[in-house]
Structure 1
Amino acid sequence: MTLLSVIIPTHNRAKYAVQSIRSILELSDQIQVVVCDSSPVDDISGQFLGEYPESRLKLVRSGEGISVVDNFNLGLRSADGDYLAFIGDDDFVSAEIVKVAAWAKFKNVDSLKFNFPALYYWDDFKHATRGESYFGTLHLAPFDGTVVLHDLKASMDYALDNFGGGVFNMPRAYAGIISSDLARRIERKYGGLFGGVSPDIYSSFLIANESQSCFLIDYPVIIPGASGVSTSGQSSSGGHYGKLRENSHIAPFKDLVWDSRVPEFYSVPTVWSFSLLKAVEKVEAHRGVSLSPNFGRLLLKCFVYFPRSYKETLFSFRKLCSLYGAGKVIGQLVGSVWGEFLWGASRIINRFRARHVTNTIEVFSGLDTSYLASQELGRKLKARKVDLQLPE
C-alpha cells in the first residue's frame, strides 16, 4: 500500500493542475497523486502518457455536472494511501510531507494540521489592493519546525462561536493530512467524509470530532496557492458573491435543500456556515446533544458585509427567532459585535504592517508556475536548515 496519496480534485484548470502534479510526483516514489477531473475535456492525462504507473499517478475522469463534494468523495474512494492529503490544483507540497506521513504512520496519528508559513501566488493572481505585484511570487515567513499536540475541542468550539468565519484551527483533510483509517471510520459513522456545499469545512468538523490524536506542525509542508480563478483570487477581486442558485459552484448540487437558518445567497460566510451546520447536525444526531452554533455571528457578518442581501438575511433572522426565541438570537447578534470589530481591526492592522513595517517575510519572484515555486522552496528549505521536530 502507498504511504501517502495526494488527492487533487480539479475542473477546467489544467493550466495549474499539470504543474502541481508534476512537482509532487518528482518529490518521492512513496507519493501517489490522485487527480479527479470533472472537466468536459481531458487536458491533463495527455501530459503524462506512459510516465507513471497507477500506483504513482491515478487519473480519474469524474464526468461533467458532478459537484465539488462528490468529486472529493470520489477522490477519497480512488486513493490507495495509508495517509491522505487533499489539495487544490494550484497548491503544492514540499518533500518533507513524506517524512511527516511516515512518522504519523509509525505513531498511529489520526490527523495533522499545518501552519502555512509558505504561500504561492500564480502569475495571474490580482491582489485587491496591490494589483499585479503578487504575480508569480513565493512568500516565506519564519517557522521553527515544532510539532505539538493540538486541542481538538477548542478548535470546534471556536468554529461554532465564530459561525461562518471558516475552518480556523480545526484539523483538515483539505490542506492537511488524515489517516485513511480515520476517513473510513467517519464514512461508516456519518455516511461520508465530505458534505454540505463546502467539503473543506464539513469534513474538518467531523475530523475534529472523531480524531483520537492530532498534531500541529509549524513547517511549510503544504503550500497553498492562489490563482486568478481560485476562491482566494475571486474573493480578492470581489467576485465571490451573488445569487445562490445562479452560482457555478452551487449549480451541480441538483437536489440541494438550503437551510433557512442561513441566508440564501452565495458568499464565503453563507457557504461555510451551511456546510458546517450540516456537519454539526450529523454529530448532534450521534451525540444526542445540541452544539449551538452562534447564528448571531453569521447574521452580523451578512448584515455588515453583504447589505444588498438584507432581505435574505432578515428572512433567516425571523426564522431563527421563531425557532430559538428573539431574545437569544438578538443577544447573540449584539454579543458578536465586539468580536467582529476586533477581527476587522486586526485585518486593517495586518495590512498596514505588511505595507509600512519591515517584516521577516521573504518574497521570491519570477516563479510563474507551482513547479518552479516548488523547486525554489526546496532550495530555500535546505539553506535555512530548520529541522522538523517530530516527537520520538
Structure 2
Amino acid sequence: MTDKKLISIIIPSRNRQKYAIHCIKSILAIDNHKLEVVVHDNSDTDELKQWIEKDIIDNRLIYRYDPTPMSTIHNFNKAMELVNAEYICFIGDDDGVTPEIVEAAEWAKVNNIDAIVEKTRIDYIWPNVNRTGEQSIYPFSGSIKSVDVNTELMKFLKDGGIYYLKYDLPKVYHGVVKKESFDKIKNITGSYFGGLSADIYASICLSLVVQKAIVIDYPLTIAGSSLESQQTHQTERAKKLPLQNAPHFRARGNYVWSDRVPFVYSGATIWAESSIKALEAFGRIDLINKVDKFKLAAHIILKSPHYEKTILNNFVNHEDKFKVKFKFYRVKISTQVKSIIQKIGNRIKRKLNGKAIIKYNNVLTIREAVDYSKNYMKSNDISLNKILSKVSNSN
C-alpha cells in the first residue's frame, strides 16, 4: 500500500456521471499531495470509468467500478474500504470541497481532534430547466469551539432522534473525521455503515466513539443540489410511496424495520430508523429508551400530515394519543416560533455585522462554485489559516 494520505474525500456514486465528472475534477484541481479522492461507482453503465481512463492521470484518485446491485449503504462501505488516509470526508457526487479542507485536517491532526463539525456550508444549485446555476455563501463568523458530544446526543434523542443536523454531532458527510474513529465503529459493529441513511447512522455511531470534537463556523464543503438529488423525498410521488417501495431498500436484503418507528415513508422516518439502528448496533438499548417517541411521532406528523391518522391508530396506544397530539401541537408551535425568531435574528445579525448572503448566478459547474468561493475569500482577506492562527495564539 502507498504512503498514507492526510485526508480522503470519498464519493460513493451512482448514475450521476455528469455531476461526478465535475466533482472529481474540482477536487483533483487542489494542488496538494496530502489529499486523495476515493470514488466507488455503482452506476448501471461504465460511462464514468471510461471518462476517467481517458482524461485523468493522477495517482491521488482511487476509482473502482462495480455494477453489482447494491444498496447505498453497501456503496458507502465499499468506498470506505478503499481509503488510505488519516482523516476522511464523505460528499455526494454533485458536491464539492474547498482547498482549505486539507489545512483543516492538518490542524486537526496537530491538535489530536477526532472530528470537525462544519457549522456553515456553501450551497450550490446545479443548472437545470428552471435554473441557470446558483451559488449562496452564507455569513459565517469563523468561530471555533469544543463540543460535548454526549450532551448533544442526549438533546438529539430527547427531541425524537430525527433531526441530527440541528445538533453539534460529529458528521462524516460534509464533515472531517479521523479514520481511526470509523475503525472503532467497524470493530464494534462489524461494518462502517448500517441502517438506511448512511450519514445519520454514521453520525450517531461516531457520537459513541469520538473523544474530541470541535465545531467550526467556516465553510469547508459545498453542498450541491441537482435535479436528480431532489427526487428521493421531495417530489409528491416520493412523499406518497409505500415504505416497502422506498429506494433505500434497493438491494438491502431482508431488512427488519424497528417497531419503535412508524411504518410509513418519509425522510423523517428513514432518519429515525437509522439512528435507532446505530444505537442497536452498539447494544445501547439504554439510549434507545431515551428517544422521546411522542416527539418522534409529532415530528413525522408535522412533516407528513397525511400520515397522522395512520400513526395515531397504529403506532401509539389509545391512551397515548393525547400525548402525541399535545406534543404535536407543542412541536408545531415551537418550530414555527423558533423559525420566525431565527429568521429575524439572522437578519438583525447580518445588519449589525454588515454581512449578507452572497449570491452568484450562472455558475455552471461545481468547479466554478469552488473558484467563486476562493475568490470571495481572497477579495475579503478571509482565510482559515488566519482563524486557526488566532486560536493557536490564544492557547
TM bracket (short chain): 0.7 to 0.9
The answer to whether the aligner puts 1:378 opposite 2:374 as a matched pair is yes
Shift of 1:367: 0.4
1:163-202 correspondence to structure 2 within 5 Å: 163=160, 164-169=162-167, 170-202=169-201
CA contact 1:172–1:204 (8 Å) conserved in 2: yes
The answer to whether the aligner puts 1:274 opposite 2:273 as a matched pair is yes
- Equivalent residue in structure 1 for 2:291, among 271, 293, 301: 293
Give 1:343's aligned residue.
Answer: 335
The SS at the match of 1:230 is: helix
Shift of 1:222: 1.1
Match of 2:333, as an amino acid?
F
The answer to whether the aligner puts 1:136 opposite 2:127 as a matched pair is no
Match of 1:118, as an amino acid?
I
Going from structure 1 to structure 2, the CA distance change for 1:18 and 1:235 (only over 3 Å counts) comes to same
Going from structure 1 to structure 2, the CA distance change for 1:299 and 1:286 (only over 3 Å counts) comes to closer
Give 2:41's aligned residue.
Answer: 37
Tell me how far apart the structure 2 counterparts of residues 145 and 302 of structure 1 sit (CA, whole Å): 34
The SS at the match of 1:157 is: helix
Give 2:254's aligned residue.
Answer: 255
The answer to whether the aligner puts 1:360 opposite 2:356 as a matched pair is yes
Tell me how far apart the structure 2 counterparts of residues 228 and 236 of structure 1 sit (CA, whole Å): 10
Shift of 1:332: 5.8
Give 2:323's aligned residue.
Answer: 331
Worse overlay, 39-48 or 207-216:
39-48
Tell me how far apart the structure 2 counterparts of residues 122 and 10 of structure 1 sit (CA, whole Å): 17
Match of 2:307, as an amino acid?
S
TM-score by length of 2: 0.86
The answer to whether the aligner puts 1:203 opposite 2:202 as a matched pair is yes
1:292-337 deviation line (CA, Å, top 9, x unaligned): 211111212333443433464245424xx49xxx45x753652353
Tell me how far apart the structure 1 counterparts of residues 273 and 202 of structure 2 sit (CA, whole Å): 13
- Equivalent residue in structure 2 for 1:151, among 126, 148, 151: 148
Shift of 1:238: 4.2
CA contact 1:166–1:269 (8 Å) conserved in 2: no
Tell me how far apart the structure 1 counterparts of residues 111 and 55 of structure 2 sit (CA, whole Å): 33
Give 1:313's aligned residue.
Answer: 311
Shift of 1:175: 0.9
Match of 1:45, as an amino acid?
K
The SS at the match of 1:44 is: helix
Unaligned runs of at least 5 residues, structure 1: 126-131
CA contact 1:115–1:217 (8 Å) conserved in 2: yes
CA contact 2:302–2:332 (8 Å) conserved in 1: no
1:177-233 deviation line (CA, Å, top 9, x unaligned): 1111111011111222311100111110111121110011111101111111114x6
Give 2:158's aligned residue.
Answer: 161
Tell me how far apart the structure 2 counterparts of residues 112 and 197 of structure 1 sit (CA, whole Å): 24
Going from structure 1 to structure 2, the CA distance change for 1:15 and 1:257 (only over 3 Å counts) comes to same
Give 1:6's aligned residue.
Answer: 9
CA contact 1:110–1:178 (8 Å) conserved in 2: yes
Question: What is the number of equivalent residue pairs in this alignment?
Answer: 376
Give 1:48's aligned residue.
Answer: 52
The answer to whether the aligner puts 1:59 opposite 2:63 as a matched pair is yes
CA contact 1:6–1:31 (8 Å) conserved in 2: yes
Give 1:19's aligned residue.
Answer: 22
CA contact 1:116–1:220 (8 Å) conserved in 2: yes
Tell me how far apart the structure 1 counterparts of residues 46 and 235 of structure 2 sit (CA, whole Å): 28
Tell me how far apart the structure 1 counterparts of residues 334 and 14 of structure 2 sit (CA, whole Å): 37
CA contact 1:117–1:143 (8 Å) conserved in 2: no
Tell me how far apart the structure 2 counterparts of residues 333 and 105 of structure 1 sit (CA, whole Å): 48
Worse overlay, 42-51 or 361-370:
42-51
Give 2:219's aligned residue.
Answer: 220
Unaligned runs of at least 5 residues, structure 2: none
Match of 1:139, as an amino acid?
S
Shift of 1:89: 0.8
TM-score by length of 1: 0.87
CA contact 2:146–2:214 (8 Å) conserved in 1: yes
The SS at the match of 1:82 is: strand
Tell me how far apart the structure 1 counterparts of residues 139 and 151 of structure 2 sit (CA, whole Å): 25
Tell me how far apart the structure 1 counterparts of residues 233 and 358 of structure 2 sit (CA, whole Å): 24
Give 1:229's aligned residue.
Answer: 228
Tell me how far apart the structure 2 counterparts of residues 353 and 95 of structure 1 sit (CA, whole Å): 31
Match of 2:37, as an amino acid?
V
Tell me how far apart the structure 2 counterparts of residues 35 and 378 of structure 1 sit (CA, whole Å): 24
Shift of 1:144: 2.6
Shift of 1:147: 1.9
Going from structure 1 to structure 2, the CA distance change for 1:107 and 1:360 (only over 3 Å counts) comes to same
